[in-house]
Structure 1
Amino acid sequence: MDERFCRNEEEPLTHDLVMKRVAVWARENEFIRGLVIIGSRARKEKSGDQWSDLDLIVCTWSPDVLLERGEWISRFGSPLLTFTEKTPLGGKERRVLYKNGVDVDFACLSPEEFETLKKKPEVRSLFARGYSVLVDKDRLFSFPEEKKPLPQGRFPSEEDLMQMTNDFLFHAVWTAKKLKRGELWEAMSCCDGYMKSLLLGMIRYYTSLGKETWHSARFVEQWAPPELKSFFTGIFASYGYKEIKSALYNSLDLFSLAGEKAFASLGVSWPEHLFRVTRQLMDDIFGV
């Protein structure tokens, strides 16, 4: 380890301290071309709190080296856990949990990869919420001035809505079959995992027609309409036959409510017969 980065082990590790150490490292290494903070610790709205992690984008000539080797993260603190995964917007990141609970995500990209990525509307929207440049040797972090975040993606087409609806209803019947067979884990995983991602997508389609939403399920309790939020307490299951069955039916009801409103908002005919037949198939499976 480079002795210039030796740490005062008595100094409590904080996200701010990690940020400062990473900035020094980035400035002094030629292969690091840029370093920027994104996410809650750079946002103007809904800024970070004690539970927030530190999200960094590291632009480097050698992203694979940082992703494949984990020794470098020890320069900034004593790591407990580290692994790599794909980021929601593209590329990969190294995620680190330091021993005192400080968590940092290092998205590692080449300058060329970042130039391509920043053209995406969702990335521009992310940066429009706020960012803080720590190092920029090649003027990588220049964006058109955005007065507010861009809408999350495009408005759905009729094909988009029908694709999502068919996917959700298919898996509602599929999950009912698995549950009836006694495969509770499998049924619960689909009901509370894959089907919830589709349900969230339909909630976003409905909501985003008149209101700003956030990526994934971030702050959904704040941006989802009240008439939909009242369903939230019943759509997730605990491990049990009756509990999963109840969550499955409640999820179907919420998808139907959000979907009908989304279809109507776009002037698209609501496929009520698909829900009627799907519910009947589920009732037959469960012997209702």
Structure 2
Amino acid sequence: MITEAGLAGWAAGRADIRLVLRTGSRARRDGTADAFSDHDIELFTTDPDAYADDADWPAELGPVLVSVGLDGPWDNPARLVLFTDGVKADFQVVPLALVEELAGELDDLHERGYEVLYDPDGLAARLPAPTGRPRPEPVTESDFRELCAEFWFEIAHLPRYLARGELWVVQSRDWTTKELLQTLVEWHAQAVRGADLDVWHGGTRMREWAAPGVWERLPETFGGFDAEGARRAAHATGVLFAELAREVAKIHDFPYDPAPETAILPQLTP
């Protein structure tokens, strides 16, 4: 089990680590953390490269079941670890210089909340206090146009793969359309409910923040591993995307080109 004292003690034994922060639901203490919540840990170090190819250091914190190395959001080494007791921890090993960047302005992740777990040099005193809310970027006409183009381009592939009986490819390409739909659901919610609405990430809490009536439409956008179900779900996905896109365009006074939906949706009609 990862504990604050255990992390602090481990960090104290490594001279390169000068600050440890925890982010995510366990740091926010807003009631959203539960027994399944990850530990999101940031290790601020003078030598991040030392952790890039080292897969063994997490074992110093406890017995490891699985450890996956990735590149983090700051082009930093990251390691996703599942310990044998079922605890999952996402470690970001970041350069100490990131403290200066965050001292100037917190990013959305830290704006939501962070906890100081180890700070022998008092570096965290330079960081602004989190407000608990991110600062959403406004949607631009260019963003909207590109999202719509990508969505219709992707969903246009589905009829041809359905005709070929390539159900695995259909499911793969269909998920790409769902990711694009998610972005539009976020923009639509902020357009309808206010630009500062917190839409979280990856669809988290969508039932709570989506505009009225949207969540109830989502079950029909998912089908089974069969041609009929996949076609029906793809058609529902396209219909919902088109409706939300038109509403977002109207609210923001963006132009919307109906030609792609007019050409593509009939090909997906069940």
Same fold (TM over 0.5): yes
CA displacement, residues 185-230 of structure 1 (integer Å, 9 cap, x when unaligned): 01101102x1111111111111123122112212112111231111
Is 1:158 the counterpart of 2:141? The answer is yes
1:15 is aligned to 2:29: no
Tell me what 1:244 maps to. 230
For the 8 Å contact 2:38–2:89, the answer to whether it is kept is: yes
In the alignment, is residue 112 of structure 1 matched against residue 97 of structure 2? yes
Deviation at residue 126 of structure 1 after TM alignment: 2.0
Alignment partner of 1:186 out of 126, 151, 169: 169
Kindly, what percent of the aligned residue pairs are identical? 24
Cα distance in 2 for partners of 1:20, 1:36 equals: 13
Residues in 1 aligned to 2:37 and 2:132: alpha-carbon distance in whole angstroms: 22
Q: 2:241 matched to 1:255?
A: yes
Q: CA 1:90 to 1:250, structure 2 compared with 1: closer, same or farther past 3 Å?
A: farther
CA distance in 1, matches of 2:104, 2:185: 23
- Equivalent of 1:202, from 184, 187, 197? 184
Listed as ranges, the gaps of 5+ residues in structure 2 are none
Give the whole-Å Cα distance in 2 for the aligned partners of 1:234 and 1:87: 35
The number of residue pairs the alignment matches comes to 265
Q: Once superposed, what is the RMSD of the aligned Cα atoms?
A: 2.2
Matches of 1:184 and 1:274 in 2, distance apart?
23
**Ranges in structure 1 where 5+ consecutive residues have no aligned partner:** 1-13
The answer to whether the 8 Å contact 1:188/1:237 transfers is no
Q: Deviations over 1:151-197 (max 9, x none)?
A: 33x111111111100100011111221122111101101102x1111
- Within a 5 Å distance, the mapping from 1:75-90 to structure 2 comes to 75-87=60-72
C-alpha displacement of 1:148:
4.1
- Equivalent-residue separation in structure 2 for 1:246 and 1:88 (angstroms): 37
3-state DSSP of counterpart to 1:252: helix
In the TM superposition, what are the counterparts of 1:105-184 in structure 2 within 5 Å? 105-113=90-98, 115-116=100-101, 118=102, 124-141=107-124, 142-152=126-136, 154-184=137-167
What one-letter code is carried by the residue in structure 2 that aligns with 1:247?
Answer: A
What's the counterpart of residue 96 of structure 1? 81
Could you tell me how far 1:243 is from its partner in structure 2? 1.4
Residues 50, 86 of structure 1: CA spacing in aligned structure 2 closer, same or farther, 3 A cutoff?
same
With normalisation by structure 2, the TM-score equals: 0.89
Residues 113, 178 of structure 1: alpha-carbon distance in 2 compared, 3 angstrom cutoff: farther
Q: TM-score, with normalisation over the residues of structure 1?
A: 0.84
- Alignment match, 1:279: 265
Please state how far the C-alpha of 1:103 moved relative to its aligned partner: 0.8
**Partner secondary structure for residue 230 of structure 1:** helix
**In structure 1, what residue type is equivalent to 2:207?**
E
